Each structure stands twice: as C-alpha cells, then as structure tokens.
Structure 1
Amino acid sequence: MTSDANRPAANKAVVQRLVDAWNVRDVSAMMRYWAPEMVHHGRDGTLPAADVGAEMQRFITAFPDIHIEIEEIIAERDLVSTRLTVSATHSGPYLNIGPTGRAVRCALMGQLRLADGKVVEHWGVADTISLLEQIGLVDRTLLDATA
C-alpha cells in the first residue's frame, strides 16, 4: 500500500505507464490502469471505461502511428494533471473522412483521479478544432478567428 506522502509520485508513474501503453497502441494495457468503474468526463457527458476503450481503438485505427509526448505532469493528493502533445498521421477513416495522409499535431490536457493505483475518473480536453483543421474539415480562417 502506498503511503499518502508517496501517493503523488506513484500516481504519476501510473499515468506515465498509461501514456506508454498509448504509444504502443495497446488498448488492453491502457485498460489495466483503469478501475472497472472508471468514468471519462468529456464535452458530451460521461462515458464508462468500455466505451472509452472502444473510442481509443477507433482513434488508433485512424491514426495508427500516434505518439503522445508528456510536456508536463503534476500530481497532488489523488489527482494527476497532464499537458500532452499528440502527433500522428491520418491514415484511416476518422469522422467519416477517409485517410488524408496528413500529419497532425494537437494539444491534450487531462486530469485523472486515481484510487489504489487505478484511474477512477478522467477529464480531458483536446484541441479538436485544430485537429479537424489539419485534416481539412475546418477552414483555417475559422481557427484563426478563435485564437
């Protein structure tokens, strides 16, 4: 059992292993770090772990060379916050758009709450509008207008 003093470091290590699993595109390994009752909070409400896993697999199919770089990781109590950069090539269907072959890069911010070494809640915000612009779904002038 991890003492309260060591919990932030242990939780950061779990999140690092989760990102490492993303980088080898192993959804099963990612899910080993999630509690069965894990909930993802996003702009469209909440999703259970199984739905998050399916969404991650769809993203990996669309962007099979995905790489996530941890720019910053901060932990306090049972929370870990991350600032990430996602890089990939649009090589499979995404949002009903066929592969464009375009390289994409976007920011991803997240906060994870852990209990007993597992993620029980996740909040994530991705720069989706930039991603959509990079694959040609959003006009650059719209993106510039929101900067």
Structure 2
Amino acid sequence: MSTTEEKNKAVVARLIDAWNRDDLAALMTHWAPEMVHHARDGVLDAATVGAEMGRFMRAFRKIRMEVHSVVAEGDLVATRFTVHARHDGDYLGVPATHRQIRCALMGQLRIVDGLVVEHWGVADGLHLLEQLGLLPEQYLSATA
C-alpha cells in the first residue's frame, strides 16, 4: 500500500472517531471547503451536508460506527459500515422512540491533501424507516 493510501485510510479513521464521539465540528475539519456529496438528487455542498449530519446527530445519540471494511486505492477510499445509534430526538417528524437502530452504510471518498473533496454514500434508508415505525416490515422483504 502506498503512503497516500495509508494517509487516506488514516483520514477515514479520524472521521470514524469523530462520528463515534458525536463531534460534528471535528468531522468538518476533514472536509475541503469545496467538498461535494453526490446524492440521489444531485450534488450537495459541504454546508448542506453538515446541516443534515447535525440533524441526524441530534436525533440519534450514542452513534457507533461498526467498521466492516476500508479499502484505499490512490485518492479513493471505499467504506462499509453498520451505524448503531439510539433514536433520542425528533427525526422526519417522528418523536424520539428511544429505540436502538442500526443501518448499513457504504461510501466512497476522494481525499486530496488530507481532506475529503468528494463523497458518495448509500444508506439502507428503508431499514431505518422501518425501525422508526414509518414503513411496514413487509416492504423490506421486497428489497432484501
């Protein structure tokens, strides 16, 4: 593994640590000001992503990122996690249920000079919605 790949994996390790400490400010120190997130409906800037992450962190406490794999190649790092948390605040209009949730998350980051400049991510949102009581369980069997 090249030095660049090792450094990029270290950036991801610091991001995971910040998530696990519930520290949005620390997360954002690893993002380039021009960082973009490639979302389902287009591209989001760093401020928009930060606001959404803050909303998630306020609704879900005791976040723990369970790392399954981190693979680096050049300036790209691919990740696979399970996010564990407790629903302790309003989310999508659902008041706190205090339920433990888990959600599969896969992502890819492009890291340049130690900062994330691009991010792509896919979360198992259907499973999250089912755990919050917003989606009937039988819908999940169609997507398993």
Instruction: Give the TM interval when normalised to the shorter protein.
Output: over 0.9
The alpha-carbon deviation at position 122 of structure 1 amounts to 0.2
Using the size of structure 1 for normalisation, the TM-score is 0.95
Correspondent of 2:48 among 47, 51, 72 = 51
Q: Identify the structure with the greater strand proportion.
A: 2
The alpha-carbon deviation at position 44 of structure 1 amounts to 2.1
Letter in 2 for 1:54: A
> In the TM superposition, what whole-angstrom CA distance separates every residue of 1:52-98 from its partner, at most 9, and x where no partner exists?
11111100110021111111000000000000110011110000111
Correspondent of 2:25 among 28, 46, 49 = 28
Correspondent of 2:121 among 120, 124, 131 = 124
> In the TM superposition, what whole-angstrom CA distance separates every residue of 1:111-144 from its partner, at most 9, and x where no partner exists?
0001001000000000010010011000000111
Letter in 2 for 1:101: H
Are 2:57 and 1:60 equivalent residues in the alignment? yes
* Alpha-carbon separation, structure 1, partners of 2:122 and 2:132: 19
Using the size of structure 2 for normalisation, the TM-score is 0.97
- Runs of 4+, deviation exceeding 2 Å: none
Q: 121-130 vs 63-72, which deviates more? A: 63-72
Q: What is the RMSD of the two structures over their aligned residues, measured on CA atoms?
A: 1.1
> Percent sequence identity over matched residues?
59
Are 2:14 and 1:8 equivalent residues in the alignment? no
Task: Note the residue ranges of structure 2 that are not aligned, 5 or more in a row.
Answer: none
The aligned residue for residue 112 of structure 2 is 115
The aligned residue for residue 89 of structure 2 is 92
Task: Note the residue ranges of structure 1 that are not aligned, 5 or more in a row.
Answer: none
Correspondent of 1:39 among 30, 36, 39 = 36
> Equivalent residue of 2:130, what SS?
helix
* Alpha-carbon separation, structure 2, partners of 1:28 and 1:65: 17
* Alpha-carbon separation, structure 2, partners of 1:42 and 1:84: 18
> Equivalent residue of 1:66, what SS?
strand
